[in-house]
Structure 1
């Protein structure tokens, strides 16, 4: 099953009016950065396997304050990132190469 590759679009909105919220925001971003590419302020494109998806979701769920924060995870058809159209100051992340931190 881990040979399966999926594309995820993760978006988040974390309450940042408190120092605790700002810390949660940094943690959420760091988790996402460990698996994919930031394409906008609170938007990440991630290519992963099902096991990593479970790890990402568990780490994010453990980090957020569910009553204050929101994370949306969209599973996309494989190849969707390759067909994305960018307008303006956009980057094209190298989804098909290893992620080096």
Structure 2
């Protein structure tokens, strides 16, 4: 399944800035950044549960906001992108 992870971490304190970096690191393990605080991820149910758990350990629920949206398929019908393109389409094989 394809999901969109968005977050708004309060960065007024040093700890908040650390949380922001940790949240981004978790998201990088599961997908690719498409905007500063937005990641597109292709995950299965187990990975989604793991991602949700890891993110819940990083945020401060009193100060931060995190949302996970499941994207409808076919993606091309529901997602419109303008401007800079993605580095890699996660639905396609990556050859290194």
How does the TM-score come out when normalised to structure 1? 0.83
Match of 2:44 among 35, 42, 49: 49
Partner of 2:63: 68
For the pair 1:24 / 2:19, whether they are aligned, the reply is yes
Secondary structure in structure 1 of the residue aligned to 2:34: strand
Distance verdict in 2 for CA 1:65–1:39, change over 3 Å? same
* Structure with greater helix share of residues: 2
Residues matched between the structures, number? 94
Uncovered stretches (5+) of structure 2, i.e. residues with no partner:
none
How does the TM-score come out when normalised to structure 2? 0.87
For the pair 1:33 / 2:22, whether they are aligned, the reply is no
